[in-house]
Amino acid sequence: MMNVLITGGTGFIGSALTRSLTGQGCEVTVLSRKPESVEKICGSGIKALNNLNQLKPDDAYQVIINLAGAPVFDARWSDARKQIIRDSRIKLTKQLVECMARMTVKPELLISGSAIGYYGDQGDTVLTEQSATSPDFSQRLCADWENEAKKAEQSGVRVCLIRTGLVLAGDGGLLQRMLPPFRLGLGGQLGNGKQWMSWVHRQDWIAIARLMMADSSMQGAYNGTAPNPVTNSEFTRTLADCLKRPALLPVPAWLLKFLLGEMSELVLGSQRVMPERLLAQGFRFQYMDLSSALNQALGGHQ
């Protein structure tokens, strides 16, 4: 039986991952600020920690999956909010790596979250794991986050980083926020609609993590995105078609900048990302095109 520790295990990706791993017979421990809610969110039989100080040197986990981080979309990016977003990822990852260094038996693998924001706003450029970056807040956040995680290699731990795109599933995430206006026929493209959106179905994201656990040749950064990114206008049109609604109300860029401030870079920035390393590894995406991913995500949630 494999022992797995997941930080951020009650989140949108983490809770589904936890259920998947326990379903496969893994023993899962979840680090959560609300340990009392872990079983309700993730299923019964899950152990819970509420801070890393509870980790002891003789605790043994074969795999640690690091997904903790304050939501980036939940509040305007004031300086204080940006610090919370950074600390909740970078400081926690630093603490986690320090805990691993103290463990008598080191984990075999650390899978650490990152995001395609790592590349910055790149317009129409096709981005692979080797691409240059364009600095902005998200880019610096992801680069610093990855650098902290990579320090675990100094303890002999294999490190895999998943640069995650827009994750699609029916019970949360950005899709859940987009659905109310789209269901009313009030959806529309954001800005000029030409910015690229690189997406992945949550089931494929979980399969990527499982492949990393199974294949010890994998290490370093991998783009966690389906191989068919779309422009925002195409995403808008496909979502409206899946809901059988019109999408008539574009939101101009100036209004998004006014409403969201600096956070508007998340919806107006463009990352056209290809999962080059996953494809080279032989990974097969279950959801290759956006309409099949959306139809699955919306099944029962319309």
Question: Residues 7-33: pLDDT tens digits?
Answer: 999 999 999 999 999 999 999 999 988
* Residue 258: both structure tokens together: 């006014």
In terms of Cβ atoms closer than 10 Å to its own Cβ (0-12, 13-18, 19+), residue 182 is: buried
Q: Distance between CA atoms of 225 and 274, rounded to whole angstroms?
A: 7
Handedness of CA 260, 261, 266, 268 (dihedral sign): positive
Q: Answer whether 121's CB lies under 8 Å from 134's CB.
A: yes
Which residue, among 97, 70, 75, has the nearest Cα to 86 in the 3D structure? 70
- How does residue 302 score in pLDDT terms, banded at 50, 70 and 90? very low
Phi and psi at 192, nearest 5°, equal -80, -5
Element (H, E) at 162: strand 158-164
For 129-150, write each residue's pLDDT tens digit. Answer: 999 999 999 999 999 999 999 9
Domains and CATH numbers, the chain: 3-298 (3.40.50.720)
Q: What is the pLDDT of residues 224-258, one digit of tens each?
A: 999 999 999 999 999 999 999 998 889 999 998 99
SS3 call for 56: coil
Residue 296: is it exposed, middle or buried by C-beta count within 10 angstroms (0-12/13-18/19+)?
middle
Which segment of 148-157, 167-176, 235-244 scores lowest on mean pLDDT? 167-176
Alpha-helical (H) ranges within the chain are: 12-23, 38-42, 79-86, 92-102, 137-150, 173-183, 202-214, 232-243, 253-260, 265-268, 276-280, 290-298
